[in-house]
């Protein structure tokens, strides 16, 4: 979205037109809506802005639920925004630490600031992009004087001594190129504000720094808590917590969220893996946050399990145990890895619905599936991996 489109949208006519539109989901919906609005003699900028926002609101439901119906977005801002359920958990940590005001430096469209304000925290939000800051101001307007939004660089609102007019800061350094639509990732040394600046600020004031889950672990400062977060099966972010926002004795944490339910595993350091053992009655796949936090060993011990192979994130056990930190599968049998023999074995067992999982082998499940020529009414999970250096196909059933 460009400023001309935003200015056309932020008028009584524009907002009323947007709120009155029916859902715009498909390309056909877009074409019909554009034709109707142009026929009604609305300006091209307004039509583009209204239709674009209608589509983004539909997509925004996955992150913001019903709140998306009154929010504005840019495409890039929505993709990079923290989903509201996770933002609420971040805000809860600030409140639990006794913090009442936070500076949101790099607020984007206001996803995290929504969480802070909803818990009653005073929020000073800034963003370096003018359009994004204006959209954040609109999204946060219902909170009145509790929230202020400025168009500014994070570095410009921190004084020369490293101070800010808040008890703590939330930093979301830009990890992609500037823009409101298609963007691309940049190298860690090109984040804005820079990591050196962000880490230095976090040494002086309690801070939460949001980063991508694949961030280089060797670059994590020694004196922070590193918390990897997954939501509904996807590892979505790493947050570095400093000062009183970091928990005593915790340096590694994995927060696993499914819907409204959350489970967390914490440790003072990376956990040592359990030794490799032979394939047992169960195979367990650790959640991505557990893998990133290197807490697989802690989970293995709780399941009386060992590693299925060196360097591959599958566990195996004979104990009928599971955990919110893993997906568990009951082993049926080991089948031939060769696609032709494997397909014949699956058809002989009447398996027509197959979940394919793989680690440690160069196999494309989408390419493999049609070669198997599945047929039947039964369902199962196929786990493709390496055991003892040999490619192995394990037929299993998912454990609830």
Confidence of residue 141 (pLDDT cuts 50, 70, 90): very high
Q: What pLDDT score does 30 carry?
A: 87
Is there a single domain that holds both residue 156 and residue 231?
Answer: yes
How many CA atoms are closer than 13 Å to the CA of 373, on its beta-carbon side?
9
Lowest mean pLDDT of 189-203, 270-284, 286-300, name the range.
Answer: 189-203
Task: Choose the final residue of a domain: 212, 243, 267.
Answer: 267
Q: What pLDDT score does 179 carry?
A: 58
Structural domain span for residue 390? 282-399
pTM value is 0.90
Q: What pLDDT score does 4 carry?
A: 81
Is there a single domain that holds both residue 185 and residue 226?
Answer: yes
Q: Is 70 a member of any domain?
A: no
Mean pLDDT of all residues belonging to the chain: 93
Task: Choose the final residue of a domain: 267, 295, 317.
Answer: 267
Token pair in block for residue 199: 């880490």
Q: How confident is the model over 331-341, as a mean pLDDT?
A: 96
- Spatial neighbors of 206 by CB under 8 A, at least 6 apart, are 97, 99, 167, 168, 169, 242, 243, 244, 245
Is there a single domain that holds both residue 19 and residue 134?
Answer: no
CA 359 to chain CA centroid, nearest Å: 21
For the segment 46-97, what is each residue's pLDDT rounded down to a tens digit? 888 899 999 999 999 999 998 999 999 999 899 989 999 999 999 999 999 9
Number of domains in the chain: 3
Is there a single domain that holds both residue 296 and residue 386?
Answer: yes
102, 126 in Cβ contact below 8 A? Answer: no
Which CATH number covers residue 185? 3.40.50.150
Q: Is 272 a member of any domain?
A: no
Is there a single domain that holds both residue 146 and residue 28?
Answer: no
Is there a single domain that holds both residue 27 and residue 160?
Answer: no
What is the DSSP-derived secondary structure letter of residue 230?
A: E
In 259-343, DSSP assigns E strands to 261-267, 282-286, 306-309, 312-317, 326-335
Q: Is 45 a member of any domain?
A: yes
Is there a single domain that holds both residue 130 and residue 257?
Answer: yes
Q: How confident is the model over 339-362, as a mean pLDDT?
A: 96
Q: Is 320 a member of any domain?
A: yes
Q: Is 72 a member of any domain?
A: no
Q: What pLDDT score does 181 carry?
A: 57
Q: How confident is the model over 389-394, as a mean pLDDT?
A: 95
Lowest mean pLDDT of 27-41, 105-119, 240-254, 292-306, name the range.
Answer: 27-41
Q: Is 131 a member of any domain?
A: yes
Q: Which residue has the higher pLDDT, 355 or 389?
A: 355
Burial of 160 (0-12, 13-18, 19+ CB in 10 A): exposed
Is there a single domain that holds both residue 24 and residue 123?
Answer: no
Task: Choose the final residue of a domain: 224, 241, 267.
Answer: 267
Q: Is 69 a member of any domain?
A: no
């Amino acid at each position: 979205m460009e400023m001309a489109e935003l200015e056309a949208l932020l008028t009584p006519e524009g907002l009323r037109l947007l709120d009155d539109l029916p859902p715009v989901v498909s390309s056909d919906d877009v074409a019909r809506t554009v034709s109707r609005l142009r026929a009604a003699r609305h300006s091209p900028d307004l039509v583009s802005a209204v239709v674009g926002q209608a589509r983004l609101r539909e997509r925004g439901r996955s992150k913001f639920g019903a709140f998306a119906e009154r929010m504005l977005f840019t495409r890039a801002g929505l993709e990079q925004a923290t989903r509201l359920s996770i933002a609420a958990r971040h805000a809860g940590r600030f409140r639990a630490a006794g913090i009442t005001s936070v500076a949101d430096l790099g607020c984007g469209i206001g996803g995290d600031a929504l969480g802070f304000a909803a818990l009653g925290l005073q929020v000073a939000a800034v963003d370096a992009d003018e359009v994004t800051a204006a959209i954040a101001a609109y999204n946060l307007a219902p909170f009145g004087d509790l929230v202020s939004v400025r168009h500014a660089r994070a570095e410009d609102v921190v004084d020369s001594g490293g101070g800010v007019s808040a008890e703590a800061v939330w930093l979301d350094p830009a990890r992609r190129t500037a823009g409101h639509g298609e963007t691309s990732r940049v190298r860690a040394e090109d984040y804005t504000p820079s990591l050196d600046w962000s880490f230095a600020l976090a040494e002086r004031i309690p801070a939460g720094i949001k980063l991508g889950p694949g961030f280089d672990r060797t670059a994590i400062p020694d004196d922070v808590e590193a918390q990897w977060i997954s939501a509904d099966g996807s590892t979505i972010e790493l947050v570095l917590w400093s000062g009183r926002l970091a928990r005593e004795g915790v340096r590694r944490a994995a927060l696993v969220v499914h819907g409204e339910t959350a489970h967390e595993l914490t440790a003072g350091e990376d956990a040592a893996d359990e030794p490799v053992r032979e394939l047992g009655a169960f195979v367990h796949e650790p959640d991505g946050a557990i893998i990133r936090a290197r807490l697989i060993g802690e989970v293995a011990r709780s399941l009386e399990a060992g590693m299925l192979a060196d360097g591959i994130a599958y566990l195996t056990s004979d104990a009928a145990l599971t955990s919110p930190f893993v997906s568990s599968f009951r082993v049926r049998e080991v089948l031939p890895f060769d696609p032709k023999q494997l397909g014949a074995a699956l058809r002989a067992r009447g398996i027509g619905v197959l979940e394919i999982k793989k680690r440690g082998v160069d196999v494309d499940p989408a390419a493999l599936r049609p070669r198997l020529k599945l047929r039947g009414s039964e369902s199962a999970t196929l786990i493709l991996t390496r055991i003892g250096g040999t490619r192995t196909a394990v037929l299993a059933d998912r454990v609830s």
